[in-house]
Amino acid sequence: MAAHTQDKAVNTSSLWKHVKKEWKLYSFLVIPVIYFIIFKYAPMLGSIIAFRKYRGGPNIFGSEWVGFTYFEMFMKDPTFWRAFFNDLSLSVSYLLVKFPITLLFALLLNELRRVKLKKFVQTVSYLPHFISMVIVAGMVKEMVSLSGPINYVLSSLGFEKISFISLPEWFPTIYVTSGIWQSLGWGTILYLAAMTGINTALYEAAKIDGANRLRLAMHVTIPGILPTIMVLLILDIGSILGSNFEKILLLYNPLTYETADVISTYVYRMGITGGNFSYATAVGLFEGVIGLILVTIANQVSKKTTKSSLW
């Protein structure tokens, strides 16, 4: 026991010496760490108002404890459950479409031998990623509007025009398609980076063994970028709740709440517009915790099965 304490003392004093020696470098961290405490960790503590009756004002500690009241409230709230399932189904369907398409596009880009063409395709396909969500939403609305090009095609083929933006059954399609448009190119950038890291000797060896381009992609490229694929998949799974908040907020309207309202937009309406801060915080906290649990599970599973993980 005594030895143990002494050990600790030595450790602390050597740590102190270390900090003293490197204090200049550590001093770089002072302001950023304070920033993290105030702007990242304080809001986490601020979630405490989910357990308190908070009615606004700067002091979050001046209100009474209510325990899990707000959690029980939203568990019994049908609007919450609708938002919950919309959140799940929008993200899962987006993920199911986006993941294979992005991977396929990355493989195709990698196969393009003409450097100039490859650069051009890349440049164009990254572009939507840099456009403001306000403009993306505006474009989507113009594209699907009654006088827009999609309805133009429909009507010239002899079909009825459809008011896509106000029909709940169309919202998931609009959400997924516009998401692909926005992220397809950008999503490939990490894959392409990973592909440049693959040892070219592997390709040559496979070629000598008589592999064609398809087989090369299947047996060399894909295994080579598997760690990247897994890491991106884990991240996507972690954000399965919390679909693209800004986009939905800009695209949905009361007519499409039925399929478009997700947890974060519900939190926004409840909290910011409705002023039910505590209730909205409880819902938001629930979303955050589920996300954290999902990331952890996905990470563990990936660690066990493919040996690639985030931490």
Partner 1 sequence: MILIVFFTLYPFVYLVAQSFSSEAAIYAGKVTFFPVEFTTKTYEVILSKPDFFLYYWNTIVYSVVGTFIAVAATAVMSYPLSKDRLRLNKFFIPFVLFTMYFGGGLIPNYILVAKALGMRDTIWAIVIPGAISAFNVILMKTFFAGIPHELEEAGRVDGLGVFGIFTRIILPLSKPILVTIMLFVMVGMWNNWFGPSLYLQSKDKWPVALYLKQIIDNAVSPTEIGASSDQTSQIAASVKSTAMVLTSLPIICIYPFVQKYFVQGMMIGAVKG
> Could you say which residues in the range 272-301 bind partner 1, by CB under 8 A?
272, 277, 280-281, 284-285, 287-289, 291-292, 295
Nearer to partner 1 among residue 90 and residue 251 (C-beta): 251
For partner 1, the binding residues in 76-115 under the rule CB under 8 A are: 105, 108, 112
Rounded to a whole number of angstroms, the minimum distance from the CB of residue 130 to partner 1 is 5
**What are the residue ranges of helices labelled H in 197-262?**
200-208, 213-216, 222-238, 245-251, 257-260
How far is the CA of 287 from the CAs of 72, 84, 211, 268, in angstroms? Answer: 15, 9, 47, 13
Q: Give the interface size with partner 1 as a residue count (CB under 8 A).
A: 92
Q: Do residues 121 and 108 make contact, with C-beta atoms less than 8 angstroms apart?
A: no
Gap between the Cα atoms of 294 and 306, Å rounded: 17
Torsion angle in degrees (nearest 10) through CA of 210, 212, 218, 222:
90
- Dist. CA 233–CA 173, nearest whole Å: 22
DSSP 275: -
Least CB distance to partner 1 at residue 208 (A): 27
Stretch that binds partner 1, among 67-75, 86-94, 123-131, 163-171 (CB under 8 A): 123-131
Residue 280 Cβ vs partner 1, minimum distance, rounded to whole Å:
5
Residue tagged 């000598």 (tokens): 208
Contact 83, 265 (CB under 8 A): yes
By beta-carbon proximity to partner 1, the closer residue of 28 and 65 is 28
**What are phi and psi for residue 131, nearest 5 degrees?**
-90, 140
Note whether 58 binds partner 1 by CB under 8 A: yes
Q: Are 281 and 271 in contact (CB under 8 A)?
A: yes
Tell me the closest approach of the beta carbon of residue 272 to partner 1, in angstroms.
Answer: 6
Residue among 207 and 268 whose Cβ is closer to partner 1 = 268
Nearer to partner 1 by Cβ, of 129 and 207: the residue is 129
Nearest CA to 247 out of 230, 264, 228, 271 is that of: 264
Amino acid in position 270 = M
Q: Does residue number 213 form part of the binding site for partner 1 (CB under 8 A)?
A: no
| Residue 154 identity | L
229 is a site residue for partner 1 (CB under 8 A): no
CB closer to partner 1, 171 vs 277: 277
Among 90, 194, 229, 248, binds partner 1 (CB under 8 A): 194
Q: Which is nearer to partner 1, 211 or 239 (CB)?
A: 239
- Residue from 9, 75, 131, 205 in contact with partner 1 (CB under 8 A): 131
- The single residue listed with the structure tokens 């199911």 is 96
In the chain, the N- to C-terminal Cα span, in Å, equals 34
Beta bridge partners of 52: 65
143: number of Cβ within 10 Å: 17
Q: Give the footprint of partner 1 on residues 230-259 (CB under 8 A).
A: 238, 246, 249-250
Distance in Å, CB of 202 to partner 1, minimum: 17
Judged by CB under 8 A, which stretch of 67-75, 126-134, 162-170, 215-223 contacts partner 1? 126-134
Q: Does 43 interact with partner 1 (rule: CB under 8 A)?
A: yes
Examine residue 226 and tell whether it contacts partner 1 (CB under 8 A). Answer: no
The CA distance from 248 to 251, in Å, is 5
Provide the minimum distance between the beta carbon of 97 and partner 1 in the complex, in angstroms, as a whole number: 15
Q: Of 65-73, 74-82, 167-175, 180-188, which part binds partner 1 (CB under 8 A)?
A: 180-188
